[in-house]
Amino acid sequence: MIKLYNIDHFNLEQTFLCGQAFRWEKDANGVFYGVVANCAAKVYHYDQNTIYIESSNPDLVFWSNYLNFSFDYNKAEELLSKDKSLLACIKAGNGIRILRQDLWETIVSFIISANNNIPRIKKIINKMCELFGEEIQFDGKVFYGFPTPEVLAKLDLADLAPIRAGFRDKYILDAAKKVASGEVNLGQVAKLNNKTAKAELMKIKGVGTKVADCILLFSLGRHDVFPLDVWTKRIVQELYGIDEKSVPDFVCKKFGNNAGIAQQYLYYYYAIEGNKLQSSAV
């Protein structure tokens, strides 16, 4: 068992259920079960600042990297708190911590997320893992790892029909074939700057600007990236009183290196918690 003490800015429910990850489920006792890089785990709060992790992979470095404990949220919050429009969002989402997820899994997960909702995204991913992933026995339960690009690249549309991903089937196969063949080199993507990495990811069908930004933020730790979709555009427009075309430049200039952190606070407060927007230019 891994025990993590004196943890701040980290709430399991806010982190795992805020829309950045899709393989964590909470049981009736508040324990989260999930699979990370083919490692099954149960994670739970002992108290507000102490977290226990039981896993088929008991490596502290592995989990510290996944949970992104090297990032200084106190510093980010101090800078973002200068924007009064963010104060309520920061207070509400104080426990959100952006994860460092597996790059391949993040690509496929956010391809599936396009024009979709979180329960259905989870259902599609779980079915795909069950059918094509490696079986993992842990804590008296059966889990399934995320299928590799090599495994998925050998499939056809008929094979993927049972996961009911709809039009996304062909995008999943395209991603698998391009990664398995090396046409899109994931090892290189991680080393590229944001603009070049984004262009490389967008070689994959179904990876547009928003999906590419989500991949950069939720896998590669590019906290200066602010993924924009219908929700986040509307939030920024109404909150700061700007037009739609100005949003991309505005969020970059306003939030700088913490743009992705700001995006999560805003999305959680307005989209997840459902608080009403009140326009207030700052």
Q: Which amino acid is at 242?
A: I
The values of phi and psi at residue 137, to 5°, are -95, 125
Report helix, strand or coil for 209: helix
Question: What radius of gyration do the chain's Cα atoms show?
Answer: 19
Strand (E) or helix (H) holding 239: helix 230-240
CA dihedral 152, 154, 160, 166 (to 10 degrees): 80
Structure letter (DSSP) for residue 267: I
Q: Which amino acid is at 85?
A: S
Structure letter (DSSP) for residue 66: H
132-137, Cβ contacts within 8 angstroms, sequence gap of 24 or more: 133/38, 134/38, 136/35, 136/38, 136/39, 136/40, 136/56
Q: Is 191 a catalytic residue?
A: no
Q: Which amino acid is at 107?
A: I
- Render the burial of 174-198: b for 16+ CB within 10 Å, e for the rest: bbbbbbbeeebebeebeebeeeebb
Q: Distance of CA 187 to CAs 55, 113, 137, 149, Å?
A: 26, 23, 29, 14
Which residues face 52 on adjacent strands? 3, 44
Please tell me which residue in 26, 127, 205, 210 is annotated as part of the active site: 210
State the catalytic residues: 210
